[in-house]
Chain A
Amino acid sequence: MKSRYLRPMRDVAENMYSAHNRTLIELARRNEKIVSCYADFPPGEVGEVFSKEFPDRIIDVGIAEGHLITCAAGLADAGLIPFTHCHALFSLGRGYNQIRQNVAYDQRNVKIVLCNAGVIWGGIGPSHLALEDIAALRVVPKLVILSPADAVSSEKATLAAADYVGPVILRLPAIGANYPTLYTPDLKFEIGKAICVHEGNDVTILATGILVHDALVVAERLVKDGIRARVLDIHTIKPLDEKAILAAARETGAIVTVEDASILGGLGGAVAEVTSEKCPVVIRRVGVQDQFGESGTSEEIKECYGLTAPFIKKAVQESLRVKRSKAAPTKPSARRGKKR
């Protein structure tokens, strides 16, 4: 059922990193265990407030991302709740072994914030674009991976991460950009429970991160064509909401996944794993297609990698065409004549 926490108008653009930072400040004020850690990364609002109110709880280790992750595991061992912040790609690229060994395997209460996650940031080029973040981290056991869609869910995901005892990955998009706000401030956010943002039974769009908004725009446009698309905000990549995904597969018979990362092993891969074994349906995956990133504005990047509304719409239409052709009765005579 459609979430009752959707804003009627999506006319406010807010910064998700700011929302996260404001929440972190609130958390730090009521929980003395919260520590915010950086590898020479801009701390935003946190910098000023922490420096004044709790200066020993903001830590910058310099440009040493691998060390940042392991050091945070040590802080957790000392009883604290560290949030680490640096470029998504360097957290997972320079810190992969550290995330796996020191954080996930040892089940440390560390919250790793992937700043500038996904491909859409663009601004700073291929060396910094984390196309692999979902795929690379999804295979690490015992990690929770959150990928909020707007400022409100960014705030709620930060709160949920702090409440959860154990390692959490929090994906945030370009930290300097504003994105449309989808949810009302009273949003109920539950780790592992997808949010339905548009109802329908013809096809399902499973989207994550800032592309949930684009998926929603497509679903609203499709209504005029007589197509009712269900849109689910998959804000938790792991543990995946298999129940909602399988219900969508059963009830709509066609799925389009939408993500700002590589479809290989990403959300598209994850959904295909679940449905192929438990309820095989037509799937089309919108995301980065086994490519590296590129410099460009966010809009250019979205266009370049086929992540804009028209591409999502095309994928939906194609999935529906395949679904319908499968539903049509096959002619036994036509099949008999075919050579194996």
Chain B
Amino acid sequence: MNKEELVRELQAKAKKLRRGSLWVMKEMGMGWLGGSFSSADFVTALFFYRMRHDPKRPQWPERDRLIISKGHSCEVFYAALAEAGYISAEDLKTYSHCGSRLQTHVDCRTPGIDCSGGSLGLGLSFAVGTATGAYIQPTGENLKAAVRNRESRFRVYCILGDGECNEGQVWEAAANAFHYRLDNLTAIVDHNKFQSTGPVGIKLNMLSLAEKFKAFGWETKEIDGNNLHEVVDTLDWAVTVKGKPQAIIAHTIKGKGFPSLENTNCHFVKITDDLLKKALAALAD
């Protein structure tokens, strides 16, 4: 398959995941529409293009890890897991109900989810631990030498929110990742410019996230995170970087794909029948 075909296929799939996530949201009557839609494109590229994983073996030790640090916009992941075959369409209907495998923040009890989320600022630390573990082998070299000399057993991807980067532990983890030169770790920041109660820079002015990751020693790229050409190219670039972790600052549009909510703070919205109808129409193939 050439790249044009691939991107076209991924674009169609991303649309499908947005539609699927709407039905998941409908189950609760509320949904993290903004974040699910802003991240849907790179989530699609990870699940259906870049990551090495096997839905039949969710616990395969050598699988690439996807650590969803912004654990709230779970609907798009559940749609992706169902599409990939980790869970069933029936599972999606149980979302948010007591006893379900699909909790209202991503949760380890769901096959295909590697780390429970919901408490922000933790995922990158977890990803650093997993990425470090991917280099540890029985015989002795120090860790930095190991990263230079060995193949990592798997890659680790971590999806962060931009508001989440307010959390101090994100930067503890960022420092640690560079210190051990974890080149098997890629962080993707869903930079949709809104956090729970307002615009990102106005709630807390963090200046440039890209400059921050650079200052922490990460190989950093800023891209249009809703452009699958760029997403695919950048994910391909990340695996070629040696000796440094990679940060992808994905500039995205909150609510991308549903024009009437795009670029508004549609963080956690009521899913009315009317909204569902209009959004599905906007996302029709």
Q: Decide: B141 and A102 in contact? CB cutoff 8 A.
A: no
Q: Decide: A64 and B172 in contact? CB cutoff 8 A.
A: yes
Q: Give min CB distance, B217 to chain A, whole Å.
A: 14
Q: Decide: B136 and A57 in contact? CB cutoff 8 A.
A: yes
Q: How many residues of B contact A (CB 8 A)?
A: 38
A190 at interface, CB cutoff 8 A: no
Return chain B residues, CB-CB under 8 Å to A101. Answer: 116, 118-119, 122
Q: Decide: B143 and A56 in contact? CB cutoff 8 A.
A: yes
Q: Decide: A106 and B175 in contact? CB cutoff 8 A.
A: no
CB contact under 8 A between A105 and B133, given known A56-B143, A71-B125, A77-B65: no
A164 at interface, CB cutoff 8 A: no
Q: Decide: B140 and A74 in contact? CB cutoff 8 A.
A: no
Q: Decide: A77 and B172 in contact? CB cutoff 8 A.
A: no
Q: For chain A, residues 49 to 77, give those with C-beta under 8 angstroms from any C-beta of chain B.
A: 51-57, 59, 61-62, 64, 66-67, 70-77
The distance in angstroms between the C-alpha atoms of A74 and B137, with both chains bound, is 16
A31's closest neighbor in chain B, by CB? B138
Q: For chain B, residues 87 to 130, give those with C-beta under 8 angstroms from any C-beta of chain A.
A: 108, 114-116, 118-119, 122, 125-130
Contact with A along B44-70 (1 / 0, CB 8 A): 000000000000000001000101000
The distance in angstroms between the C-alpha atoms of A98 and B146, with both chains bound, is 28
B135 at interface, CB cutoff 8 A: yes
B168's closest neighbor in chain A, by CB? A66
Main secondary structure of the interface of A (DSSP, over half): helix
Q: Give min CB distance, B183 to chain A, whole Å.
A: 15
Contact with B along A70-103 (1 / 0, CB 8 A): 1111111111101000000000000001100110
Q: How many residues of A contact B (CB 8 A)?
A: 34
Q: Give min CB distance, A339 to chain B, whole Å.
A: 51
Q: Decide: A74 and B116 in contact? CB cutoff 8 A.
A: no
Task: Select which of B115, B119, B179 is within 8 A of A77 by beta carbon.
Answer: B115
The distance in angstroms between the C-alpha atoms of A79 and B154, with both chains bound, is 12
Q: Decide: A59 and B143 in contact? CB cutoff 8 A.
A: yes
A220 at interface, CB cutoff 8 A: no
The distance in angstroms between the C-alpha atoms of A141 and B46, with both chains bound, is 34
User: Which of B108, B126, B131, B138 has the most chain A CB within a 10 Å cutoff?
Assistant: B126
Can you offer 11 A-B residue contacts whose CB atoms are under 8 A? A32-B138, A62-B176, A74-B125, A74-B126, A75-B132, A77-B115, A78-B136, A98-B125, A102-B115, A105-B116, A107-B108
Q: Shortest 5 CB-CB distances between A and B: which pairs?
A: A74-B129, A78-B133, A70-B125, A71-B129, A64-B172
- Chain B interfacial positions (CB closer than 8 Å to A): 61, 65, 67, 108, 114-116, 118-119, 122, 125-143, 145-146, 153, 169, 172-173, 175-176, 179
- Chain A interfacial positions (CB closer than 8 Å to B): 32, 35, 51-57, 59, 61-62, 64, 66-67, 70-80, 82, 97-98, 101-102, 105-107
